[in-house]
Every structure is written in structure tokens, then in C-alpha cells.
Structure 1
Amino acid sequence: MRPMKSPITIASIFAAALAATPALADDFPSAISVSGEATVSAAPDLAHIDAGVATDAKTAKEASDANNAAMGKVLLALKGAGIDEKDYQTSRLSLQPQYATSSKVSETQRGIVSFRASNRVTVRIRDVTKVASVIDTLVTSGANDVGNISFEVTQASKLLDGAREQALADARRKAEIYAKAAGVTLGVPLAITEGGAPVPMFKARMAPAPMAAAPVPIATGEETLSVTVSVSWAIKKEP
């Protein structure tokens, strides 16, 4: 049988182990984590317009044929206006039956009275000063539903480079306020992470325009681009 260790020996070993172990608080670096923000404004340099042609006829074939002919004129007009073929694309095609809507007819008795064919195209405009003229071209060539206009800044990330520096400076300013209040000083940055917020885009909706009218007034305005950065700073106690 193995002899039992005395309580004094066990206690002595435990006390020696505690003495040899550094304080846990000294093993973990302290840090201040804050976020910084900055914005920059820029004029949009690209526009998108969604336009379409809707055609009604007694039969599905008549509606489809008439719609194809109408959209063909729209596409030819876009090409004639100097829009590159790679900058306009069919976005939706549909052929739907239209039912009687008279209140005197029950739902089970409502039959097909006509068909509606529609064809939509999305146009990319690389010169935003031509947006109004492109809309006029669409309308005069037969598009009877024009809308969903959007503007964007294509070089947004490059334009944000200056804002990134400002956002980091904003983060440091905040961190120094917290450090002073806590009685510590800032060390080196431990981690820097940029937020992934999407770049905002301005969008507007236009009512259907079945015939040519006065030139469409377009205001492109400016886009406000923002960047957010999260930074963790090492800290040390004041001497």
C-alpha cells in the first residue's frame, strides 16, 4: 500500500504553484475598440433606365406580333441615338391573358377577352447629360412605360480613399477621448476592419408616357458615399 502524503506537503506544493503562475490579468492585452466614419459627395456618372412596350390584342399571336414590332422600333431608335448595343438589354418578356372585369359577371364566368404582351429593356447611359434625350427617344419610338431611373458613381471605391483616411482619424479621435477618460494611453492598432455598407443610389419612378411631350427635366444631383472603419487599439496604463 502506497503511503499517504501529508496535508502539509500537498499544501506546500499548491502554494508553490500559485506563486510561480503570473497574474491572469497580465496575460491578456487590454484594448479600446471604436468605429470611425467619413463621407464624400460625388456627381453620378452612370444612369440606368427601364422602359417597355405593352400591347393588347384579341389573340395571343396578334398581341405578340404587334409587341415585337413595336419593341423593334424602340431598339432601332436607341441604336440610332448612338447607344451601343452592349448598353441595352431585354429585361423582361411576358404574355398574359386579360379577363372580363364586369361586376355583373361572377369569377367562374369571367372569360379571356384579350391578351397583353409586354417587352422591357434596360438601358445603360454612360453620359448622364443625355438621360433626358434618351427618354425622349424611347417615348417617341413607342415605349409606353418608362421608369425606374437610377444613378450611380462608378468609381465609388476610388473616391472613398480620402474618406478612409478621415474615418481612421475619426476612430483615433474617439479612442483618445476614451483613453483619457480611463487614465490610459493608446498603443498601436491591433485590428482595422472596414464596414461593408452598400453605396447609396438615387432612384425615381416615372409615370407611363404614351406620347412625345416636352423634354423631360432630369436632376442628377450628387451621391453621398460613406465609409465606416472599426479599429481596436492596444492600451497601457499611465506610469
Structure 2
Amino acid sequence: MSASHRLARPALFALALGLSSAAIAQTPPPPAPPAAGRPAEPRRLAVTGEGQAFRAPDLALVQLTVMRQGETAQKALADNSAAMSAVQGALPEFGLEARDVQTSGFTIAPQYRYDTASDGTQAPPTLVGYEVRNTITLRVRAVDRLGEILDRAVSLGVNDGGSIEFVAEDPSALQNEARRTAVERARASAEAMAGAAGLRLGALLSIEDGASGIEPPRPVSEMRMMAAPASPKVPVAAGETMASATVRVVFALEN
């Protein structure tokens, strides 16, 4: 056998061995087996519930105004102060304390007369006096006596527009009642939906408080109080204060 033949055989063997190793190196590894024991995502049901709560208001916010006019600012102010002092002096008879009475408006304004000359031209305005308005805001807790308070206030000198707004003194209690109703309705809806799907309602996973608020009865707008004989009792209807709440609740679902 020639020397060239003796050298060729080992070279061919080495080449074959190299190709085999490359083929083994390029073969992709088998996929990893799935992880054992991984819990499946629980089935969930999200629902929204709305609730309302109603209660008779236990607080009235009342605005009363005394208006007086005089030839001078001092005269108008003196007359106004005398009338307002009489009004405030009578308030303790109805259970109102100093903390329940607040001055919420006070103005002194000149009053002018505008004359037109015979030729149609406008004459300069003439100062004829002054007008003083003093407004107080009352927090009346004895809502059932509000008519008596208005009657007495008019008889003592209140003679200009005012307003009444009925509210809940502790709105949080009414708001929480509305939230409880909203949660109960959300659970009832979830149970009905789960039952229709052939499933059972599981654990409560989350709960979120949504939109909520207090809606008082509409204010009695702009009462016109004129200096007229007082009635035995001014009729007042308080109505109801309403609280509303919305909740979003998520439950787990079970077979």
C-alpha cells in the first residue's frame, strides 16, 4: 500500500467524525416539560351595584334678610340694626345657639332718582337716601319648628328675600346606608348570574367604592317676605334627603 493511501484513511475518518459531531451539536434540545402543580387562574365575575337611602332631613339652613332705607346712611343703618337685633334676640326661644347664627351678607347702597327733563334729556341722578341689607344664615335643628321661626322673624322685621335648604347634619351615616344597599344588590346580581351559568359564587376578591353623593331636597327658592300680618305658622315641607352609592365587586366562581 502506498504512503498516500496510508495517509488518506485517517484523514477521511477524522472528517467523518467532525461531521457527526457538528450534526449532534446542531440538534435542538427537546422542549421542557410543563411545570407541575401550577394553579390555574380562578374564574371571576365582576358586577356593579347601586344603592340609595332616604331620610327626613334633620337640619335646615335658612337665610333671612332685613332691609331698611333712610335719608342718610346712619339712619338706614340704625333702623336695620334695631330690627336685626330683635330678630336675633328671639332666636334662643327656638333652641338656636350663638354658633347657629352667622352673618352672611351686609351691604350699604346709595339710592338715586333718575329724572327726565321735559325736552327728553336725562337729568343728573339725585341722591335720595341709602339702603342697608343685613342677611343672617341660621342652622335650625328643630326642623318641625321652622314655620314658627319664619313667622316670628317676619313679625320682628325680616322683609326681604331668603332661602331654605334641608340637609342631613351627619351625611356619612346616610351615605353608608346607601353603600350597604349597593353591596347587597351587587351580591344578589352576582348570585343570579352565577346560577344562570350553572356555577356557584365563591369568595369575594375585591370591592371598590364608586360614585356617591348626597342629594338634599330642592331648596325653597327666594322667599319673598314682606311686612305683612304674620300667619299663625308658615307651612314648611321638609321632604327627604337622598344618598346614592355605586360599588364594583369581584367574586370568584366555583363549579
TM-score range with shorter-chain normalisation? 0.7 to 0.9
Going from structure 1 to structure 2, the CA distance change for 1:173 and 1:147 (only over 3 Å counts) comes to: same
Q: Is residue 2:214 matched to residue 1:199?
A: yes
Code of the aligned partner of 1:90: T
| Cα shift at 1:50 | 0.6
Which is further off, 226-235 or 41-50? 226-235
Q: Is residue 2:120 matched to residue 1:74?
A: no
| Cα shift at 1:135 | 0.6
Contact 1:193–1:230, Cα closer than 8 Å, also in 2: yes
| Cα shift at 1:16 | 5.2
Code of the aligned partner of 1:233: F
Code of the aligned partner of 1:61: Q
| Cα shift at 1:219 | 1.8
Q: Is residue 2:63 matched to residue 1:50?
A: yes
Contact 1:90–1:119, Cα closer than 8 Å, also in 2: yes
Contact 2:69–2:129, Cα closer than 8 Å, also in 1: yes
Contact 1:38–1:163, Cα closer than 8 Å, also in 2: yes
SS at match of 1:72: helix
Going from structure 1 to structure 2, the CA distance change for 1:162 and 1:83 (only over 3 Å counts) comes to: closer
Alpha-carbon distance in structure 2 between the residues aligned to 1:183 and 1:111:
87
SS at match of 1:78: helix
Other-structure match for 1:218: 236
Code of the aligned partner of 1:38: G
Q: CA RMSD in A?
A: 3.6
Contact 2:46–2:249, Cα closer than 8 Å, also in 1: yes
Contact 2:95–2:142, Cα closer than 8 Å, also in 1: no
| Cα shift at 1:92 | 0.9
TM-score, length of structure 2 as denominator length: 0.71
Code of the aligned partner of 2:57: P
Other-structure match for 1:209: 226
Which is further off, 46-55 or 221-230? 221-230
| Cα shift at 1:130 | 0.9
Larger Rg computed on CA atoms: 2
Code of the aligned partner of 1:204: V
* Unaligned residue ranges in structure 1 (runs of 5+): 1-5
Alpha-carbon distance in structure 2 between the residues aligned to 1:163 and 1:144:
40
Contact 1:78–1:137, Cα closer than 8 Å, also in 2: no
Going from structure 1 to structure 2, the CA distance change for 1:178 and 1:81 (only over 3 Å counts) comes to: closer
Alpha-carbon distance in structure 1 between the residues aligned to 2:124 and 2:27:
95
SS at match of 2:78: helix
Which is further off, 181-190 or 138-147? 181-190
Other-structure match for 2:15: none
Alpha-carbon distance in structure 1 between the residues aligned to 2:180 and 2:247:
10
* Unaligned residue ranges in structure 2 (runs of 5+): 1-21
SS at match of 2:181: helix
- Kindly, what percent of the aligned residue pairs are identical? 33
User: Residues 32-52 of structure 1: CA distance to partner in whole angstroms, max 9, x if unpaired?
Assistant: 332212233322222221101
Q: Is residue 2:163 matched to residue 1:148?
A: yes
Code of the aligned partner of 2:110: P
Code of the aligned partner of 1:229: V
Contact 1:136–1:212, Cα closer than 8 Å, also in 2: no
Going from structure 1 to structure 2, the CA distance change for 1:105 and 1:222 (only over 3 Å counts) comes to: farther
Contact 1:89–1:123, Cα closer than 8 Å, also in 2: yes
User: Residues 40-72 of structure 1: CA distance to partner in whole angstroms, max 9, x if unpaired?
Assistant: 332222222110111222333332233222212
Other-structure match for 1:87: 100
Which is further off, 127-136 or 160-169? 160-169
| Paired residues for 1:27-46 under 5 Å | 31-46=44-59
